[in-house]
Each structure stands twice: as C-alpha cells, then as structure tokens.
C-alpha cells in the first residue's frame, strides 16, 4: 500500500478533528483532553510501527 501513504493520516485528522471540534463546541473539556491524548498516543504508535 505504498501508493496511499497519507490515507491513515487523513482518516486520523478527519476522525479526531471532528471529535475535537464537537467537544470544543459543547465545552466538554474532559472529552477534549481525552481525544487529544488519544490522538497523540495514536500518532506516536503509528510512527513507532513504521521505523
């Protein structure tokens, strides 16, 4: 799947971006922190897997 190397990042940005946007709108700060932490952890795990 070398042809589509940005697909995972695009799905990640869309999913977490929408979740963060909704949490910010509703001012659910625990959800904001949760999604930010989950996003950072996912990016870290994805970068560790590829190296």
Which residue ranges make up each domain of the chain?
2-50
Give the C-alpha separation, 37 to 31, whole Å.
Answer: 10
Q: Is the pLDDT of residue 41 over 70?
A: yes
Quote the pTM value. 0.64
What is the 8-class DSSP label of residue 4? G
CA dist list (Å): 23 to 28, 31, 37: 5, 6, 14
Q: Is the pLDDT of residue 30 over 60?
A: yes
> Where is pLDDT greater, at 33 or 5?
33
**Does residue 33 contact residue 49 with C-beta atoms inside 8 Å?**
no
Region 13-41: mean pLDDT is: 87
């Amino acid at each position: 799947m070398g042809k589509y190397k940005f697909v995972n990042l695009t799905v990640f940005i869309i999913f977490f971006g929408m979740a963060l946007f909704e949490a910010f709108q509703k001012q659910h700060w625990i959800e904001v922190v949760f999604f930010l932490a989950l996003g950072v952890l996912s990016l870290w795990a994805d970068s560790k897997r590829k190296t």
